[in-house]
Structure 1
Amino acid sequence: MKKTLLTFAVVLLAVFSMNAQDLTLSWEGEALGDTVVIIGNPSNFEIVFHAVVHNNTNSGLQIKVRRKRLSMVENTTSAFCWGLCFPPDTDESVDSRLIMANGSSTDEEFSGHYTTAGQIGISMVEYTFFNADNEDQNVKVVAKYWAGFDGIAEDAMNGGSISDIYPNPATNYVSVDYNMPAEVNSAKVSIVNLLGAVVKESVIERSSNKLTMDISELEGGIYFYTVLINGDVYKTKKLVIQN
């Protein structure tokens, strides 16, 4: 009896493990985990997120998309496209789309659209991609739409300058050149991963004109870096790490 139960448990575990890998997601060539951060400017009409769906099975699958709004900044809206584009009040794609065996959707086939309404803040939307014939075959991702102004600290930087991070893409080190005016009381550079977590942070010292950060311990992938001046955002841009 114990042997039978053990065999059943192993088979069940194998089935769940297989299903968990049947569908995967990527964004700009990078595999996605459970969460992705998309940074944009609230002065823009919308922030857009694209994902590619990968079918890792030996059979073609009819894939649908379900959206769930987890938390939304007031007055903002969310919509999505899966081949066709749907209005904000639609939570599930009407039709499925065939992804061939061991194939993928196109770069433009899925897009999540977040209308900022000029609001600063983070809204979270969950997207579930699932087999219309077997919902156990699915993959989910939570998109954190992060709307924040660049250039809020521009007045403090009047007469000063700060470069973009370089090199970009980077491997072991990144640097920033700068000239800090007297109005700047504090400045720092933060590197954020796609989960929205700060993974590296360094203070910009007035006594120097160059900051170098060791990023050799960070895994290769897509990150964002933010320059904060007197506690306000001066710039936010993408950083690619290759190692």
Structure 2
Amino acid sequence: MKIMKKLLLALIVLFNLHATVSAQSIEIYDRSGTTVLSGDTLTFWYPDDPNVSEGVFDFDATDFARVVNESNDTITIKLKRVVKSFINASEDFACWGSNCYGPVDPATTPVWDVNDLVVTNPGDTAAGLAPLQLYLDFNDNTGLAVYDYVFYDVDNPVDSAVLHVKWVVTLLTDVNEIANAIKKMEVYPNPAVNQFTVDLNAGIQADNQEIVIRDMLGKTIKRERINSRQEKFIFSTEGMTGGIYFVSYMLDGEVLKTSKLVVR
């Protein structure tokens, strides 16, 4: 019995120690400081996005996030940028701490540690030149870039928070461009049980877009109009008996892409 009590006590101590060590000190908020952005994906569109501007660089995203020290200790925060995908011949910049850095070629520098160390007191926002400024020069190219911005404690790199940023350069408006881009449309999970997602994998600026789902006999089961720039749609399988269906993307009444879906 004593051995069991000692074992239980040891497990409790280890659990508390692990909880203390793994507690997250760094949090990312929106500009108002009320909404947590840590782990979220922010999408910036060019052109016509109110959160970005065309200035010295092609794509300026400034004053949209706050990095806060939520621990009881003063910590030193550093920024690391990790490339997930990039636009050919593009360069990116970052202002963090007391300086601005760049240009950096994402093709040759997929992981970039921004030099500045920002000492941040408990409860304070990491300050300096600005809380965070991000820039992208796409040099007349178009496409999709996805970067992870990781903020971490230099004395404990595991203690970190990440912000995923998606840069979408140009909106597809030409019919031929749309037809080519929509080839990447995905439907998942497939087979589906309770629900499924239709992911266009493209931001399309056009009216009269629809997702239409038909059964084997060609009967329309579901239909949803698409707002410009909307990429993902979640459908319930309610009312769909087990079997094969066809999911189509339509523009101005013309089918540009159809995928087969199995419902169980």
TM-score bracket for this pair, using the shorter chain length:
0.5 to 0.7
**CA–CA separation in structure 1 for the residues paired with 2:252 and 2:84:** 32
Within 5 Å, give how 1:51-130 maps onto structure 2: 51-83=65-97, 84-89=99-104, 91-106=112-127, 108-130=130-152
The unaligned stretches of length 5 or more in structure 2 are 1-5, 49-53, 176-206, 211-224, 236-249, 254-264
**CA–CA separation in structure 1 for the residues paired with 2:60 and 2:144:** 12
Shift of 1:149: 2.5
Flag the structure with larger Rg: 2
Shift of 1:120: 2.9
Shift of 1:119: 2.9
> In the alignment, is the contact (CA less than 8 A) between 1:127 and 1:142 conserved in 2?
yes
The unaligned stretches of length 5 or more in structure 1 are 154-183, 202-227, 232-243
Residues paired across the two proteins, number? 170
Partner of 2:165: 143
Of residues 173, 184, 190 in structure 1, which corresponds to 2:227? 190
**CA–CA separation in structure 1 for the residues paired with 2:69 and 2:228:** 32
> In the alignment, is the contact (CA less than 8 A) between 1:69 and 1:124 conserved in 2?
yes
Shift of 1:97: 1.2
Shift of 1:116: 2.4
**CA–CA separation in structure 2 for the residues paired with 1:56 and 1:71:** 31
Q: How many percent identity over aligned positions?
A: 17
Partner of 2:191: none
Can you list the C-alpha shifts for 1:181-228, whole angstroms capped at 9, x where unaligned? xxx764644388xxx863679xxxxxxxxxxxxxxxxxxxxxxxxxx9
Cα root mean square deviation, aligned:
3.4
**CA–CA separation in structure 1 for the residues paired with 2:173 and 2:117:** 42
Of residues 21, 26, 34 in structure 2, which corresponds to 1:23? 26
* SS class of match (2:15): helix
**Segments ≥4 residues shifted beyond 6 Å:** none
* SS class of match (1:87): strand
> In the alignment, is the contact (CA less than 8 A) between 1:78 and 1:88 conserved in 2?
yes
Shift of 1:75: 1.7
**CA–CA separation in structure 1 for the residues paired with 2:14 and 2:76:** 29
Shift of 1:2: 3.1
Q: Which amino acid aligns with 1:132?
A: V
* SS class of match (1:11): helix
Counterparts in 2 of 1:151 and 1:60: CA distance versus 1, 3 Å? same
Shift of 1:99: 1.5
**CA–CA separation in structure 1 for the residues paired with 2:122 and 2:130:** 19
Shift of 1:8: 4.0
Shift of 1:5: 4.5
Shift of 1:4: 4.6
Q: Give the structure, 1 or 2, with the largest relative contact order (CA under 8 Å, sep 6 or more).
A: 1
Shift of 1:31: 1.3
> In the alignment, is the contact (CA less than 8 A) between 1:191 and 1:198 conserved in 2?
no
- 2:154 is aligned with 1:132: yes
* SS class of match (1:31): coil
- 2:8 is aligned with 1:3: yes
TM-score (ref. length: structure 2): 0.53
Shift of 1:51: 2.3
> In the alignment, is the contact (CA less than 8 A) between 2:145 and 2:167 conserved in 1?
yes
